[in-house]
């Protein structure tokens, strides 16, 4: 998995690419929790290049969400492929996370 | 030993290190293709076997990468059997039940994903040392 931090119209976006599993999720966790440490909000993660996610990846996002909520911040996800969205739906987390189709969708609020 | 019973299975041994999970997923993906599982069911199965191996790494071996996980995969027409063997301390299925899906917190999702994918999820109590998790799935009729 590769991770890029993209500046999109003044908004910092974490963009992982590839497979998020027990091996790679600690790398993603480090990036997300660095944003949480800076109290950034919204904390945006673009998943359009992510092809696979397991429960450790899901746990990473839950941890990031709880961290953001601790300072009144938000964690927003975008670009979920159907197989990724399906896992969020199965775990009932699609109702907990704000899921958007694009970064512009977030900016327009 | 009857030859016909030995040409439909393979054994994959990996170090108990998460970087090898991608190899497991690739092998199970191909096994699902051979057993004629449709893509959605195959995706669930691949994720579930990944979760089973992750559980071994975390709970049986406590992240000791020098241990080994042995996967025995039996491929039949429209049926897959996967045995996940480890030599860690005995684990009970009750200890791996996971959280309620309504309880939003990190962790506890793996067993839900395993139970969703497989018709049979059971530890083989006859194994004398370590654990043997048996996972069986037949292609769903309505999706075939």
Does residue A95 form part of some domain? yes
CATH at residue B30: 3.30.565.10
Residue of A nearest to B98 (CA): A55
- Show the domain range for A51: 24-108
- Name the pLDDT band for B5 (thresholds 50, 70, 90): low
Does residue A33 form part of some domain? yes
Does residue A80 form part of some domain? yes
Query: A105 phi and psi, to 5 degrees?
Result: -60, -40
Please give the torsion angle defined by the CA atoms of residues A26, A27, A28 and A29, in that order, rounded to the nearest 10 degrees. Answer: 40
Q: Percent of chain B beyond pLDDT 70?
A: 90
Does residue A90 form part of some domain? yes
Query: A79 phi and psi, to 5 degrees?
Result: 75, 30
Helix, strand and coil in chain A, % to nearest 5? 40, 30, 30
**CB-count exposure of residue B104 (10 Å: 0-12, 13-18, 19+):** middle
CATH at residue A81: 3.30.750.24
Task: Name the nearest CA neighbour of A73 among A30, A102, A44.
Answer: A44
Question: What does the pLDDT average to over B23-45?
Answer: 97
pLDDT at B144: 43
Interface list for A 33-72 with B (CB within 8 A):
52, 54-56, 58-60, 62-63, 66
Task: Name the nearest CA neighbour of B106 among A1, A108, A28, A71.
Answer: A28
HSE-CB of A46 using CA atoms within 13 angstroms = 20
Does residue A101 form part of some domain? yes
Tally of structural domains, chain B: 1
Does residue A12 form part of some domain? no
Tally of structural domains, chain A: 1
pLDDT in tens, B73-122: 999 999 999 999 999 998 877 777 777 767 766 668 999 999 999 999 99
Task: Name the nearest CA neighbour of B17 among B53, B43, B45.
Answer: B53
- Show the domain range for B75: 3-143
Complex ipTM, two decimals? Answer: 0.91
Could you give the residue ranges of the DSSP H alpha helices within B16-95?
Answer: 21-34, 39-55
Does residue A28 form part of some domain? yes
pLDDT at B92: 78
Quick count: other Cβ atoms within 10 Å of Cβ B99?
15
Does residue A36 form part of some domain? yes
pLDDT in tens, B16-25: 999 999 999 9
Interface test with B, best of A54, A75, A84 (most B CBs within 10 A): A54
Residue of A nearest to B116 (CA): A90
pLDDT tens digits in sequence order for chain A, 109 residues long: 999 999 988 898 999 999 999 999 999 999 999 999 999 999 999 999 999 999 999 999 999 999 999 999 999 999 999 999 999 999 989 989 999 988 888 887 7
Q: CB distance from A27 to chain B under 8 Å?
A: no
pLDDT at B88: 95
């Amino acid at each position: 998995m590769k991770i890029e931090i993209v500046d999109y119209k003044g908004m910092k976006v974490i963009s992982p690419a590839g497979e998020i599993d027990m091996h790679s999720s600690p790398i993603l966790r480090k990036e997300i929790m660095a944003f949480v440490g800076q109290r950034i909000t919204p904390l945006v993660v673009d998943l359009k290049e992510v092809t696979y996610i397991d429960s450790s990846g899901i746990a990473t996002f839950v941890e990031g969400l709880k961290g953001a909520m601790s300072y009144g911040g938000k964690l927003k996800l975008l670009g979920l492929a159907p197989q990724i969205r399906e896992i969020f739906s199965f775990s009932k987390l699609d109702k907990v996370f704000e899921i958007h189709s694009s970064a512009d969708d977030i900016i327009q609020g | 030993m009857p030859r016909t019973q030995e040409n439909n299975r393979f054994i994959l041994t990996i170090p108990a290190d998460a970087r090898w999970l991608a190899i497991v997923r690739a092998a199970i993906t191909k096994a699902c293709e051979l057993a004629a599982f449709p893509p959605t069911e195959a995706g669930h199965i691949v994720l579930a076997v990944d979760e089973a191996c992750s559980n071994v790494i975390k709970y049986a071996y406590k992240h000791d990468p020098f241990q080994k996980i042995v996967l025995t995969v039996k491929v039949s027409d429209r049926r897959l059997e996967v045995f996940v063997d480890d030599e860690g301390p005995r684990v009970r299925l009750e200890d791996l039940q996971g959280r309620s899906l309504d309880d939003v917190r990190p962790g506890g999702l793996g067993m839900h994903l395993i139970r969703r994918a497989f018709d049979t999820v059971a530890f083989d109590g006859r194994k004398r040392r370590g654990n043997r998790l048996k996972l069986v799935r037949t292609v769903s009729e309505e999706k075939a």
